[in-house]
């Protein structure tokens, strides 16, 4: 059975570019920052949707990228975009190195109806993230918490090192909030002393252990680099999860230009 | 056989913005049937290659091109030869 999607997605809406103001910048890890942006014509989004960001140079050259929304729809008037600084990224390097509180950028959104989860869609929920692929899944977890949902949920989150774990403190807190949500980390490049969770790339055995408590009726959202997404999506099908219940979002090197 | 660099591959979701410009509705949940293998699924589930002069959406089952799109300053070009149909939600 496929996942039932909310009907609101068929509503007609012209997507306008809006000038938004940076109201907060938070350094999450060495290479990741969260930008809080005030959106003048803010509308509630669905967890998992994204905004397009457009930069215009003085000579008229434009570059555009899509970034997942990190905040839940319950946080009104603003959105949070958590963005990794890519060494070759023409937009992310500008956002990281130049953008400060008070600056303005052009945004349009929210966009996307495929990779979304709302509490009403139920669960059990399996979230699998690699690196900054955590961002749209974090919106789902924040929405789950803010809406009081008790849907059983497990997040399997693969990071390079302990220091690369984005939202580490908040994930610890969600793990212990008693709502039936569990976070399982895996580290692929080194681990701190006393680390007692996984420390390898996600494989079939790990997936099997993580999904076991959720049962075959789970719905899965997988976001990260292409290789991780392919491996996890195929692995879940091998483990008996119907392909229609597995939604993926791959990270490319860049977005639409 | 298709030879493509999968490191440049995204999902149909990555084309949500430009498809919304053209159709004015959310298109990643629109159903599409592949003319080559008959698979149907949402546009968001197709493979997207957007690091190209135009945008290319391929079928995840048979890798055939389903939709191609390019945007000029004045027009949108949509080549849907690879699709039996594209089911666009009615605007309400």
Any domain includes A1: no
Any domain includes A256: no
Q: How many CB atoms lie within 10 A of CB A32?
A: 21
**pLDDT of residue A1 exceeding 60:** no
Instruction: Say yes or no: A43 and A16 in one domain.
Output: yes
Q: Are A241 and A211 in contact (CB under 8 A)?
A: yes
Among candidate residues A111, A135, A170, the one where a domain is terminated: A111
Predicted pLDDT at A87 = 86
Token pair of A53 as six digits: 């960001």
**pLDDT of residue A104 exceeding 50:** yes
**Preceding peptide of A124 cis, ω within 30°:** yes
Predicted pLDDT at B1 = 36
The residue-averaged pLDDT of A83-106 equals 92
- pLDDT grade for A256, boundaries at 50, 70 and 90: very low
pLDDT in tens, A34-62: 999 999 999 999 999 999 999 998 888 88
Sheet of B31-34: strands edge to edge?
B40-42, B31-34, B83-87
Predicted pLDDT at B78 = 94
Any domain includes A179: yes
- pLDDT grade for B39, boundaries at 50, 70 and 90: very high
Q: Taking CB atoms and an 8 Å cutoff, what residues of chain B touch A11?
A: 25, 92
The residue of B26, B48, B58 whose CB has the most chain A CBs within 10 angstroms, and thus the best one to mutate to test that interface, is: B26
Instruction: Say yes or no: A104 and A145 in one domain.
Output: no
Residue-averaged pLDDT of chain A:
91
Instruction: Say yes or no: A106 and A123 in one domain.
Output: no
Full 3-state SS string of A90-150: HHHHHHHHCCCCCCEEEEEEEECCCCCECHHHCCCEEEEEEHHHHHHHHHHHHHHHHCCCC
Among candidate residues A59, A78, A111, the one where a domain is terminated: A111
Whichever domain contains A221, its CATH number is 3.40.50.80
Predicted pLDDT at A123 = 84
Among candidate residues A93, A111, A129, the one where a domain is terminated: A111
Any domain includes A2: no
Any domain includes A257: no
Q: Taking CB atoms and an 8 Å cutoff, what residues of chain A touch B18?
A: 256
Q: Taking CB atoms and an 8 Å cutoff, what residues of chain A touch B26?
A: 9-10, 111-113
Any domain includes A239: yes
Tell me, what's the ipTM? 0.73
State whether B28 and A113 contact (CB < 8 Å): yes
Q: Which domain holds residue A174?
A: 119-251
Instruction: Say yes or no: A79 and A35 in one domain.
Output: yes
Predicted pLDDT at B2 = 45
Residue A141 or residue A227, greater confidence? A141
pTM: 0.88
């Amino acid at each position: 059975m496929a996942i039932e999607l909310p009907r609101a997605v068929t509503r007609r809406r012209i997507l306008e570019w809006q000038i938004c103001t940076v109201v907060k910048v938070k350094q999450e890890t060495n290479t990741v920052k969260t930008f809080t942006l005030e959106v003048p014509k803010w509308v509630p989004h669905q967890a998992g949707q994204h905004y397009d960001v457009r930069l215009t140079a003085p000579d008229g050259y434009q570059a555009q990228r899509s970034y997942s929304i990190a905040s839940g729809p319950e946080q009104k008037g603003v959105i949070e975009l958590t963005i990794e600084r890519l060494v070759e990224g023409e937009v992310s390097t500008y956002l990281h190195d130049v953008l400060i509180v008070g600056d303005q950028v052009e945004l349009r959104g929210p966009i996307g109806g495929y990779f979304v989860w709302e509490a009403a869609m139920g669960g059990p929920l399996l979230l699998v993230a690699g690196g900054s692929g955590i961002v749209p899944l974090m919106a789902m977890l924040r929405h789950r918490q803010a809406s009081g949902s008790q849907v059983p949920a497990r997040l399997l989150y693969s990071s390079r090192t302990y220091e690369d774990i984005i939202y580490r403190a908040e994930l610890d807190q969600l793990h212990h909030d008693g709502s039936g949500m569990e976070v399982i980390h895996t580290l692929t490049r080194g681990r701190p002393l006393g680390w007692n969770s996984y420390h390898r790339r996600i494989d079939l055995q790990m997936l099997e252990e993580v999904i076991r408590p959720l049962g075959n009726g789970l719905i899965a959202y997988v976001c990260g680099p292409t290789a991780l997404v392919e491996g996890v999506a195929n692995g879940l099908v091998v483990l008996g999860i119907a392909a229609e219940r597995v939604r993926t979002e791959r990270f490319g090197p860049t977005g639409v230009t | 056989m298709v030879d493509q660099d999968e490191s440049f591959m995204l999902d149909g979701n990555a084309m949500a913005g430009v498809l919304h410009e053209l159709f004015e509705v959310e298109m990643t949940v629109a159903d599409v049937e592949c003319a080559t293998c008959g698979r149907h699924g949402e546009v968001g589930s197709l493979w997207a290659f957007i690091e190209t002069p135009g945008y290319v959406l391929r079928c995840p089952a048979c890798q055939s091109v389903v939709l191609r799109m390019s945007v000029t300053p004045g027009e949108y070009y949509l080549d849907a030869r690879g699709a039996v149909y594209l089911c666009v939600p009615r605007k309400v």
